[in-house]
Amino acid sequence: MHIVLFEPQIPPNTGNIARTCAATGTVLHLVKPLGFQIDDAALRRAGLDYWKYVNLTTHESLEEVLAIAQKEGANTYFFTKFGTKTYSDIAYQSQDYLIFGKETTGLPDFVRETYKEQLVRIPMGPVMRSLNLSNTVALALYEALRQQAFPGLT
């Protein structure tokens, strides 16, 4: 599995996501610009001593990540409140890319316009604008892993 964070801004969120990726053997992709330095103390604190286990790649653009996914023949799913499918409706594959927007503004407009069939949402009540990014990633990733019988996990 691949988790992609588009222009993440909050170090503890990314640190928590990195820890989840390390615990599950999931590749973490960060799309620049980042709202922090990779060596940010808050980022490292959230990831604790697990950073050495994170398979981390940084990218200059979302288009770069999408080109890699396409070359690999992987599915891409974009998590947004505008999704028409719920995250549990998707039949995930091990090479899929789960893509999440930045905490303040989400994914870029071209994603909603170009990838309409790949927009996925996590249901929630009308009061909140969004769920916390690290919680959203954990929900989506563990659903994908559950469908695959948690490969390599005990």
User: Token pair for residue 65?
Assistant: 């990540």
- Residues whose CB is less than 8 angstroms from the CB of residue 108 and which lie 6 or more positions away in sequence, other chains included: 6, 62, 101
Q: How far apart are CA 115 and CA 54, in angstroms?
A: 28
Residue 35 in marked binding region: no
Residue 101 in marked binding region: yes
Residue 99 in marked binding region: no
Residues belonging to the binding site are: 101, 122, 130
Residues belonging to the binding site for S-adenosyl-L-methionine are: 101, 122, 130
